[in-house]
């Protein structure tokens, strides 16, 4: 005896987590380098570092 055929379900794509608002999903933040002991002049140079909000993942923190 033949069994009834079950309809196949479509897999839905999992939604992407929201991007971090500070680094826009890159995981890195660049800051202007400051020079000098008292006046702290800003130079044209930039320094990149790990985003402290998402810890480099690029995803928005939950809660």
Distance CA 12, CA 7 (A): 16
Tokens of 43: 């130079």
Is residue 1 situated within a structural domain?
A: no
- C-beta separation of 27 from 58 below 8 A: yes
- Asked if residue 63 is part of any domain, the answer here is yes
The answer as to whether 33 is a domain residue is yes
Q: Is residue 8 in some structural domain?
A: no
What is the domain count for the chain?
1
What domain range includes position 27?
A: 17-63
11-45, pLDDT tens digit by residue?
888 888 899 998 998 999 998 888 888 888 888 89
Whether 3 maps to a domain, the answer reads no
For the whole model, what pTM was predicted? 0.55
Question: E strands along the chain, which residues?
Answer: 28-35, 41-50
Eight-class DSSP state of 57: S
Classify 36 as helix, strand or coil: coil
Task: In whole angstroms, give the CA distance from residue 9 to residue 52.
Answer: 41
């Amino acid at each position: 005896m033949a069994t009834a055929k079950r309809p196949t379900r479509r897999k839905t794509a999992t939604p992407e987590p929201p991007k971090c608002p500070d680094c826009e999903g890159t995981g890195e933040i660049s800051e202007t380098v400051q020079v000098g002991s008292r006046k702290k002049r800003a130079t044209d140079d930039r320094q990149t570092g790990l985003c402290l909000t998402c810890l480099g993942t690029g995803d928005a923190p939950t809660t």
